[in-house]
Amino acid sequence: MIDLSKTVLGIELGSTRIKAVLIDEKHIPVAAGVHEWSDHLENGIWTYFDEEIRLGLQSCVRDLKRDLKETHGLTLETTGAIGISAMMHGYLPFDKDGRQLCSFRTWKNTITGDAAARLTDLFGFNIPQRWSIAHLYQAILNGEDHVKDIAFLTTLAGYIHWQLTGEKVIGIGDASGMFPIDSARLDYREDMLAQFKELTGIDLTQILPKVLPAGANAGRLTEAGALLLDPEGDLRTGIPFAPCEGDAGTGMTATNSVKVYTGNVSAGTSDFAMLVVDREPGVHREIDMVTTPSGDPVAMVHCNNCTSDLNAWVDLLHEAASLAGASVEKNDMYPLLFKKALEGDADCGGLLDYNYIAGEGVTDLNEGRPLFTRRPDAAFNLANFMRAQLLSALATLKIGLDILTQTEHLEIRKLCGHGGFFKTPGVGARLLSAAAGAPVQTMETAGEGGPYGMALLGAFMLWRKDSESLPDYLERCVFSDAQVTEIMADKEDIEGFAAFLERYKKGLAIEEAAIRNL
């Protein structure tokens, strides 16, 4: 029997899906829910509408309630704790009355280049375009009228948490994608707050959410919040909340990658690598410095594009297969095509692909044009085509990793992979290993991804021992008996990826020309 008071609910609003996972006191998922959605390009801005956020959240919880009822005969009336996670960064400003001042500007937008460059120079600290502070300063530079009315600025996770609890707080990992963090103080960098105030006259301490580390109590579910999550009225008020987090932090947690020298790669709509470091590297435009949910420094390589173009090609190939009379389901196409890629030449036989649906900060492109090309004498076959698609999904990530390993001499001991790219056993992990030149692990539980990581952060808040750290709790209670598969790419794969990458970097001029002319 499941005691709902000894469960934890984790919810994550990702780029293409809102997912919820309910775990028991053994940290095992007992119910799950999902809602599919997508962003919109409105007036040049990638956004999600507020109604979509609310209805999507409700649809996801409703799906979890159905699963819990069908599987265990229980109605979700309570839970020991709740945690909200969402895609990091972006721009959600509100006035003193709680009115949203402009459309939600997501991490995907590459419209803050001027602001990001100026702040990076001012702080001596890399400020990527997608960070909240870059969006705010760009709005100032643009002379946008709403800036004068901002009373609260937050992320998507911070916004949902506020609506559910009334608390204007944020987990430190998510906060580190808004403004630089001091890992010793577990708060925003005071020197940079002062620099920004001198530059703009804005006191960010008055408008940014309060920073909380993992394990802190971040409020309780209000009556309005309960009805927002569950309009059917079954969910009770008063449930405690863990600090809300970003998808990077929950990914680290779900893969047991929060200890120094550990690392993980999340690969889905976007992909990003996170390396927990013992020292802060130099300033590089391609490298973000964020934190774990506990506040430890993390070197992050974030790429806007990963599997979206790959998904479009799979859709096209599925349509062709259907036209020929094949009865294969679309989801079954992925393992078939992923495995076929392993039959291709290590360097993709001379094929070249750019998966840039959106702009890409690592390669300094503000727009994207998906592009496949080849020389006339290239070995053009299905295996090489699929391998080019998969290596393209990791190529920009490797450019950033090479900066950390070759320029900063940081060691990658091993990586843990999670996300849709790794669902086909032995394929995504092998190719990531070829890119990183290091072993790659995958876990069964990591398939639950971000919402599972968020649920674990809620469990840490509830059940940790006195003064126990998050890494120690995860090692003791969650991952001590985890089923782990590890793959190390062979020399041919590693050299093949390197050859593909050299061709990829030279061909970026083709992508730039496509952006100018297409």
| pLDDT-above-70 percentage for the chain | 99
pLDDT of 448 reads: 58
- pLDDT single digits (tens) 475-518: 999 998 888 899 999 999 999 999 999 999 999 999 999 999 99
C-alpha 295/C-alpha 20 separation (Å) is 25
Could you give the C-alpha distances from 279 to 410, 412, 426, 461, in angstroms and in order?
Answer: 9, 14, 33, 27
DSSP, residue by residue, 106-159: -TT----HHHHHHHHHHHTS---TTSHHHHHHHHHHTT-GGGGG-SEEE-HHHH
Q: What angle do CA 28, 34, 38 make, to 5 degrees?
A: 140
Is the confidence at residue 366, as pLDDT, over 90?
no
Place of tokens 């790419």: 489
- pLDDT single digits (tens) 281-335: 899 988 999 999 999 999 999 898 999 999 999 999 999 999 999 999 999 999 9
Which residues are bridge partners to 188 per DSSP?
181
Mean pLDDT, residues 219-238 taken together: 97
Place of tokens 């036209």: 323
Could you give the C-alpha distances from 507 to 160, 232, 306, 309, 408, in angstroms and in order?
Answer: 42, 54, 18, 18, 26
Answer whether CATH 3.30.420.40 is correct for domain 4-71+79-254. Answer: yes
Is the confidence at residue 347, as pLDDT, over 60?
yes
Number of C-beta neighbours around residue 156 at 10 A? 25
C-alpha 383/C-alpha 361 separation (Å) is 29
| pTM for the predicted model, two decimal places | 0.86
Q: Structural domain boundaries of the chain?
A: 4-71+79-254
pLDDT of 227 reads: 97
Amino acid at 334: Y
Place of tokens 């890494």: 471
End-to-end CA, the chain? 59
- pLDDT single digits (tens) 390-443: 999 999 999 999 999 999 998 888 899 988 899 899 999 999 999 999 999 998
H-run or E-run covering 434? helix 428-436
H-run or E-run covering 415? strand 415-418
C-alpha 89/C-alpha 242 separation (Å) is 19
